[in-house]
Amino acid sequence: MLFGCGFRRSELVGLELDEIQMRQGHWAVVDLIGKGGHIRTVRIPEWVKSALDQWTVAAGVREGRIFRAVARAGKVWGKGISQNVVWYVVKTCCERAGLEHIAPHDLRRTCAKLCHTSGGELEQIQFLLGHASVQTTERYLGCKQNLGHLVNDLFDLRTAGWPHENDGESTPVKSSDLEASGHARWFERLLSELQFELWIGDAAEIRTKRVRKQKTDRQDAQLILRLLLEDCFPRIWVPNWENRDLRQLLWHRHRMVQAPTRIMNQLQAVALNEGLRCKKRLWRDTGREQLEAFPLAPWASRRRRDLLELLDRLSPTITELTQTIEQEAEKCPEAQRLRTHPGVGSLTALAFVLIIGSAERFQCGKQIASYLGLVPSEESSGDRRRLGHISKQGNALLRFLLVEAAQVTVRSLPEWRSKYFHLALRRGRKIAKVAMARRLAIQLFWMMRKGWDYEQVKRFGPHAGQPEHRRGVQ
């Protein structure tokens, strides 16, 4: 075990019989606790397992510690052995073989070097020995550079425009995996240029797979590798670059619309301080003249002038962005169909198409509501059910646009208006607005999935043609 598995003395004396289990068709020591509390699984070679079986049969070990003391009469006794006994046994056996100054740890180092010379990977040797750092493994191996073995010729990063002698041959698909995070688009573009297929995983689901409380970049990489090997990597849908660029257009227009609102609020405060209370009339021609007419202190006058100039400059920019969004919506057939729904304009329709992507990713309207964060958070157990505020685990811009569009729909359709006031009386206006937004999102989803306009959905319903739905068209 010291030589074949690279065990430490402390690990060897604490080894118990029930820790040896069958994993993936091979015998292994499972959940071995090593130095520093590090836990690892070590595979046992066949020749080591054969010798171990011979010892357990001869010693009659059926449970507990595997290695125990043997009396001179040949009787096995005690519940285990100490580390000093292991040192004495190794020293005695080596002296009989004509080897001097051999310690148990030398067998562990020999195991590491033989694994390396046999072609073993450095990281796999690190896992075998249970080292916390790969630098420790390198010191064990005494690695030196060998220019005759060109390890960097074993791979080929081929980009557009680089000549290669095998350009006519098919190359294997290269892949890379990444946990979802921000500020990494430069890395995605780099991998795309190098013709790598990038998988991005759900960070929240990956976090649930982590058992240990320690978190480092190396442990995260090992966790992602294990999920890939076990075919459990939680891959998420990633929009293409054109989709992302159009999303930037929507966000830019949204932020530009928010800027005049903040400026107008500041000008309203200036007017109120001077006794001018006009509310919305302040932005008409007469209100604007009154705002510019009353005298102010030098810096207050400077502030008023700058705010008015900013307000005048933002209006043409917002108009241009709005026209661009309408043009992009005209190019998208799905957005045109969604615009037929009352209360839904070009901005909301285009945002819904870009953020949802493919409607086939979702099976029902409940998944859409959950994806957009329009479902309540829940903490229930047993007979107790506790619902909180909406989860907001989705795109904030689309959620905002759906709430705005739902209020217009409520004013446009009588059946929506009655439903809204019914909910408002029972639960309040805020909850009623979110409920209407959730209903609008579900209806837009079915319009997008079925390829129908509003009149068709209104006539047939979202479950038309499904025999299990009583009210659907058969």
Could you give the CA distance from residue 444 to residue 148 in angstroms, rounded to a whole number? 64
For the chain, the straight-line distance linking the first and the last C-alpha, in angstroms and rounded, comes to 70
- Please give the pLDDT value at position 176: 66
- Please give the pLDDT value at position 266: 93
Same structural domain for residues 245 and 198? no
Domain CATH number, residue 54: 1.10.443.10
Structural domain span for residue 211: 173-238
Classify 28 in phi/psi space as left (phi over 0), alpha (psi -120 to 50) or beta.
Answer: beta
- Please give the pLDDT value at position 331: 92
Q: Is the per-residue pLDDT at 463 higher than 60?
A: no
Same structural domain for residues 188 and 304? no
Q: Is residue 417 part of a domain?
A: yes
Express as a percent the part of the chain with pLDDT over 90.
31
Instruction: Tell me which amino acid residue 350 is.
Output: L
pTM here is 0.59
Same structural domain for residues 123 and 227? no
Report the domain count for the chain: 4
- Domain final residue, candidates 331, 364, 398: 331
Same structural domain for residues 230 and 272? no
pLDDT in tens, 88-117: 888 888 888 888 788 888 888 888 888 877
Same structural domain for residues 321 and 389? no
